[in-house]
């Protein structure tokens, strides 16, 4: 790995390795991490004649997780293979939801910056060939994951809000009537947010009916821009797909829950 990467890419890989360790440390002990992280002795600074993989010492893992030292390039490559195989993104997202009487609280999920950063990297890879230039989300719960994805893609984030902000002269507006309320709702973005050359990824934390996400897609279209795809962290049921006029291959979700649990 190290021979094919720039120095900056190597540093990013080493930092990504530490982030994955920290994510797993939330549900695993140092002893458990040590057992799964078996590396070749030469990557532990031991004899090159012995090729038997052995667990990384707990003291070394502790120094990594506390940020006292970074693994070298070769050890990073070997650890990343293990760590990425160990993380089940669906389970990680589900474990951060708290269920109560058919509803769920996603506060812990939206506040877990390490996990959201990892999700952002996964989604960035999935849409890597689509030439995305902007990310669009809705205030307020879509902002955390939207921010991380826009940051990972190195593009601007546009936030659609429920009210017209003072100081903005012209808006692109989309008004819709949610089926659960029967009242009119609107989303607004400054008119200058998108150009006709923009390729936009629409992002949100949760989808139930699909009406808010359809409104976001319509805002992009009204701006004359292209909708590249839709990403949702948690999807409830699948009836919402009927509201989204996008091919299935342009829609990505992490966790899909049955509608009777929402």
Structure confidence by residue, pLDDT tens digits, 35-78: 999 887 654 455 556 667 889 999 999 999 999 999 998 899 99
Q: What is the mean pLDDT of residues 153-180?
A: 94
Q: What is the mean pLDDT of residues 89-98?
A: 96
Looking at residue 183, what is its pLDDT?
86
pLDDT of 88 > 70? The answer is yes
pLDDT of 87 > 90? The answer is yes
Please report, for residues 156, 166, 173, 177, 202, the alpha-carbon distance to residue 161 in angstroms, rounded to integers and kept in the order given. Answer: 16, 12, 10, 16, 14
Looking at residue 105, what is its pLDDT?
96
Phi/psi at 200 (nearest 5 deg)?
Answer: -115, 135
Which of 25-29, 36-40, 218-222, 255-259 is predicted with the least confidence, judged by mean pLDDT?
Answer: 36-40
Looking at residue 259, what is its pLDDT?
86
Give the three-class secondary structure for 13: helix
Q: What is the mean pLDDT of residues 206-211?
A: 94
Burial class (CB in 10 A: 0-12, 13-18, 19+), 63: middle
In this prediction, residue 262 has a pLDDT band, given cuts at 50, 70 and 90, of very low
pLDDT of 121 > 60? The answer is yes
Looking at residue 198, what is its pLDDT?
98
Please report, for residues 28, 51, 232, 261, 262, the alpha-carbon distance to residue 97 in angstroms, rounded to integers and kept in the order given. Answer: 18, 42, 15, 12, 12
pLDDT of 219 > 50? The answer is yes
Distance CA 108, CA 208 (A): 19
Answering whether pTM is above 0.85, one says: yes
Q: Which residue has the higher pLDDT, 124 or 103?
A: 124
Peptide bond into 140 cis (omega under 30): yes
Return all residues near 129 (Cβ < 8 A) that are at least 6 apart.
none
Q: What is the mean pLDDT of residues 87-115?
A: 94
Q: Which residue has the higher pLDDT, 260 or 12?
A: 12
Q: What is the mean pLDDT of residues 230-237?
A: 97
pLDDT of 19 > 80? The answer is yes
How many helices (H) and strands (E) the chain has is answered by: 9, 11
Distance CA 231, CA 119 (A): 11
Residue % of the chain over a pLDDT of 90: 82
Q: What is the mean pLDDT of residues 184-199?
A: 97
Distance CA 202, CA 198 (A): 12
Looking at residue 50, what is its pLDDT?
63
- Classify residue 56 by its DSSP letter: P
Distance CA 10, CA 180 (A): 49
Q: What is the mean pLDDT of residues 168-193?
A: 92
C-beta separation of 123 from 100 below 8 A: no
Looking at residue 181, what is its pLDDT?
75
Q: HSE on the CB side for 192, CA within 13 Å?
A: 3
pLDDT of 193 > 90? The answer is yes
């Amino acid at each position: 790995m190290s021979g094919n990467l720039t120095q900056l890419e190597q540093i990013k890989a080493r930092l990504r390795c530490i982030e994955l360790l920290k994510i797993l440390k939330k549900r695993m002990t140092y002893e458990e991490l040590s057992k799964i992280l078996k590396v070749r002795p030469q990557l532990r600074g031991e004899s090159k004649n012995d090729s038997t993989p052995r667990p990384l010492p707990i003291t070394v893992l502790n120094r990594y997780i506390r940020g006292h030292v970074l693994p070298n390039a070769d050890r990073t490559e070997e650890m990343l293979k293990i760590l990425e195989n160990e993380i089940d993104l669906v389970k990680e997202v589900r474990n951060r939801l708290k269920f109560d009487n058919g509803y769920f609280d996603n506060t812990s999920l939206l506040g877990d910056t390490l996990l959201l950063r990892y999700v952002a990297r996964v989604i960035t890879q999935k849409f890597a060939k689509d030439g995305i230039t902007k990310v669009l989300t809705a205030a307020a719960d879509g902002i955390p994951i939207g921010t991380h994805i826009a940051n990972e893609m190195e593009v601007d984030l546009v936030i659609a809000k429920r009210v017209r902000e003072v100081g903005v002269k012209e808006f692109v507006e989309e008004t819709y009537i949610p089926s659960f309320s029967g009242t009119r709702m609107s989303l607004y973005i400054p008119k200058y947010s998108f150009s006709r050359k923009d390729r936009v990824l629409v992002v949100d934390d949760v989808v139930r009916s699909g009406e808010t996400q359809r409104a976001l897609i319509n805002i992009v279209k009204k701006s004359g821009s292209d909708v590249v795809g839709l990403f949702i962290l948690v999807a409830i049921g699948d009836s919402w797909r009927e509201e989204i006029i996008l091919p299935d291959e342009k829609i990505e979700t992490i966790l899909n829950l049955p509608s009777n649990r929402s």
